[in-house]
Amino acid sequence: MSTLEDGSPEQLRLAAQKLHRDLRERKPNLDDDSIDVILRGARSHYAWKDKPVAKATLETLYDITAAGATSMNCCPARFTFVTSPEGKERLAKSLKAKNVEKMMSAPVTAIIAYDLNFWEQLPFLFPHEDRRGFFKGKTEYIADTAFRNSTLQGAYFMIAARALGLDVGALSGFSNDIVDKEFFTDTSLRSNFLCNVGYADETALFQKLPRFAFNEVCSYI
């Protein structure tokens, strides 16, 4: 195990600080077009071009997503990329009727799930101290932490996909129980939500829906 005496942890800490400073100097903020691509001008899509998404692109997408922050770096999200006709047919069993075609026509549908055994990996993910005792035997806390942080990782996933030139359309109109029985039986995984990924057919878009103004939902104390 590395110690402060041999300089390794301190060198790593200082190197991380320098990387952060250098990045901020090179890119203090995103330009307006970049912000539009990932959020402000982005849209949820439900119609897709007949264009596959390369496996290498999905691997890059995961790598970017994994860099996002989670509590105690717990990283509970697990991603199943459904691309085959057989997989799509299995997933279709869980969907509300209006969502079936949206999913079937997308080149990729990600099942964004969470692992209820995530805390067992904390010695690797959070090596500063052993935090497994925070979770052992606490089923409600485990489930809350896994669900909350996998939802956060799902949001990172959507933003990262847009940053890579992909389009996304999240789906919640489905049965989690059916997905879990179909894909995660006898595992510690549970589904959170679905997200179609691909290259959108923008001709299916309608006008962007309203959002609340700052003073309607924000406050200072």
pLDDT in tens, 105-132: 999 999 999 999 999 999 999 998 999 9
Q: What number is the average pLDDT over the span 62-72? A: 98
Q: Can you name the residues that pair with 194 across neighbouring β-strands?
A: 111, 171
Residue 117: partners with Cβ closer than 8 Å, 6 or more residues away: 188
pLDDT in tens, 116-172: 999 999 999 999 899 999 999 999 999 999 999 999 999 999 999 999 999 999 999
Domain locations in the chain as residue ranges: 44-202
- Cα–Cα distance for residue pair 57/62, rounded to 1 Å: 9
- Cα–Cα distance for residue pair 143/116, rounded to 1 Å: 6
Specify whether domain 44-202 bears CATH 3.30.1360.200. no
pTM of the model: 0.93
96 closest CA partner among 22, 166, 151, 46: 46
Spatial contact of 109 and 103, defined as CB atoms under 8 Å apart: yes
